[in-house]
Chains A and B, each alone.
Chain A
C-alpha cells in the first residue's frame, strides 16, 4: 500500500466511524470531535487516539467497544487499538458543522 492508499483507507475508516454514536448526546463520535488521530499501518492494524466529552464518561467503555466492533464487522482480521487521552481536553470547538446543527448551536 502506498501513502495515498493508506490515507484513503484512513478517510474511509473515519467515514465508517460516523455510524458510532454517543448514546447520550446522540451524535456520532466523528462529528462530535472525539477522534483526535487515526493511523493505519498498511497491514492489519488501526491505531486510534480519542477522548470523551468528560473524563468520567460512564459510556466510555461502550463507545470503545462499539468502535472496535464496527471496524471488525468491516475488516474481521484487523486489530484496533484505542488510546484515550484528555490532553487536550475536549471542548465545543471540536464539534463539526454537522454536529453543531444537530445540537442547535
Chain B
C-alpha cells in the first residue's frame, strides 16, 4: 500500500484552535472597520488602518492558513508535520503577538509597545517557519506545489524580519530612508511572497482535487513559480538598492504574467472538472481566483499613473490593498474553510464509526443556507466597499462595514456549528 497519508494528519487540537482564533479575529476586524470606516479615506498609512490590516492579515488570514497548512502538509508534502508541540507553542505565541501588535498600532504606541510586539510576532513566525522547513526536509516529494509553499515560507520570514526592523526603527532610528519606503517593500513581499505564493501552492493541489480534474499542464505552474519569484526578488532588490521605475515595471510584468499562468492553470482545471455543480466553498474559491486579476490591474494603474494627485493616489492604494486582502485572500479563505474544516472535524468524530453506523456527510456539519446568505452578503460587501473608497463616500463604507460584520457573524455561527458538532450515531439496519 502506498500513497496513504491520513496517518500523517496532525491531532485536531493542533489545527482547530487556529480556525477558532481566525474566525474571532475576522469578527474583530469587522468591528474595527465599523468603528473606523473613515480610516479607509485617509492616507493609507494611518494607524487605525494599519491596525485593521495587521489584524486581518495576521489574526484572520495567517492564523487560518497556519491551521490549514498543518492539516495540509501531509497532502502537499506527503509527510507528517515535524513537531505538533512546536505548532501548539507557535499558536499561543502568535495569538498573543497578533493582539499585542494590533493594539500597539491602534493606540499608536510606536516606541513604547510596537518594538516589543513585533519581536514577539517575529519569534512566533520563526517557530512556524522552522516547523514547516523541517517537515519539508523529511519529505521525499518535491513537486511544484511544495516548492511554492517553501518559497512562501521564506518570503514570510523576510516580510516579518523587515516588519520588525521597521518597528525597531521607531525606537532606535537606524534606517536611511523614510518608513513609508520600507513599508511599501514590507507590504509587497508579504502580500505577494507570502500569501499569493502560498495560496498558489496549496490551491494548485486542492482546487483540482475538489473539482476532480486530471491531466493538467503543470508547466504552467512551473512558469508561474519562476516568474513570480523572479519578479518579486527583482522588485525587492530594486526598491532597496536602485529604485528605478522602469525596472519596477519590468519586474511587475513578470509577477503579473506569473499570476496569469496560475489563473490559466486553474481555468484548465475548471474546464476539465468532473464535478459540474459547484458547492458554496468552490464558488468562493473560484470567485477569489478571478478576483486576483483586480490587484494586477490596479497595480498597473499605480505604476503607470504615479503622477495622480496624492489624495486619489492614496485611495487607489487603499483599493489595491482591499482588493488583495478582501477580494482575493479573504474570499479564498472563506471558501476553503467550508471545504477543509468540516472534513477535519468529520474525520476526527466519525473515522471510527464509518461502516458501523450511518454517518452524516461532512457538508452536513454546517448550514448551507447560512453559508449561501453569507456568500451573497460578502459579494455585496466587496462591490460596495471599492465604490465607497474611490468615490470618497463614507456612507457606503459604513453600509459595507456592517455587511462585513453580518458576514463575520454568519461565518462564526457556521465555524462553531462545525467545531461543536455532536456525534449522534444511528445503527445501521
A interface vs B, CB < 8 Å? 20-21, 23-26, 52-62, 64-70, 72-73, 82-86, 89-92, 95, 103-105
Query: A68, B9: Cβ atoms under 8 Å?
Result: no
Q: Which residues of the partner chain B approach A89 to less than 8 Å between Cβ atoms?
A: 214
Query: A56, B75: Cβ atoms under 8 Å?
Result: yes
B interface vs A, CB < 8 Å? 1-7, 9, 74-76, 78, 205, 209-210, 212, 214-215, 274-277, 343, 346-347, 350-352, 354-356, 359, 361-362, 428
In the bound assembly, the distance between CA atoms of A17 and B343 in angstroms comes to: 22
Query: B3, A24: Cβ atoms under 8 Å?
Result: no
In the bound assembly, the distance between CA atoms of A52 and B5 in angstroms comes to: 12
Query: A62, B351: Cβ atoms under 8 Å?
Result: yes
Q: Which residues of the partner chain B approach A64 to less than 8 Å between Cβ atoms?
A: 4
Q: Which 3 A-B pairs have the closest CB atoms?
A: A69-B355, A104-B276, A61-B6
Q: Which residues of the partner chain B approach A82 to less than 8 Å between Cβ atoms?
A: 1
Query: A58, B343: Cβ atoms under 8 Å?
Result: yes
Q: Which residues of the partner chain B approach A95 to less than 8 Å between Cβ atoms?
A: 274
In the bound assembly, the distance between CA atoms of A26 and B364 in angstroms comes to: 12
Q: Which residues of the partner chain A approach B359 to less than 8 Å between Cβ atoms?
A: 23
Choose one: A26, A60, A104; the contact of B3 (CB below 8 Å). A60
17 A-B residue pairings within 8 Å (CB atoms): A21-B361, A23-B343, A55-B3, A55-B78, A56-B5, A58-B347, A59-B347, A60-B5, A61-B4, A62-B6, A65-B351, A67-B355, A70-B355, A73-B356, A83-B1, A86-B2, A86-B3
Within the complex, the shortest CB–CB distance from B33 to chain A, in Å, comes to: 34
Q: Which residues of the partner chain B approach A62 to less than 8 Å between Cβ atoms?
A: 6, 347, 350-351, 354
Contact A58:B5 (CB < 8 A) given known A67-B355, A68-B355, A91-B214: yes
Q: Which of A21, A66, A68, A90 has the most CB of B within 10 A?
A: A66
Q: Which residues of the partner chain B approach A52 to less than 8 Å between Cβ atoms?
A: 3
Q: Which residues of the partner chain A approach B274 to less than 8 Å between Cβ atoms?
A: 92, 95, 103, 105
In the bound assembly, the distance between CA atoms of A93 and B362 in angstroms comes to: 26
Choose one: A56, A69, A92; the contact of B74 (CB below 8 Å). A56
Choose one: B6, B212, B215, B275; the contact of A59 (CB below 8 Å). B6
For B78, give the chain A residue with the smallest CB separation.
A56
Query: B277, A104: Cβ atoms under 8 Å?
Result: yes
Additional 10 contacts, C-beta under 8 A, given A23-B362, A25-B212: A20-B355, A26-B361, A56-B3, A58-B343, A66-B355, A69-B354, A72-B355, A84-B4, A91-B215, A104-B276
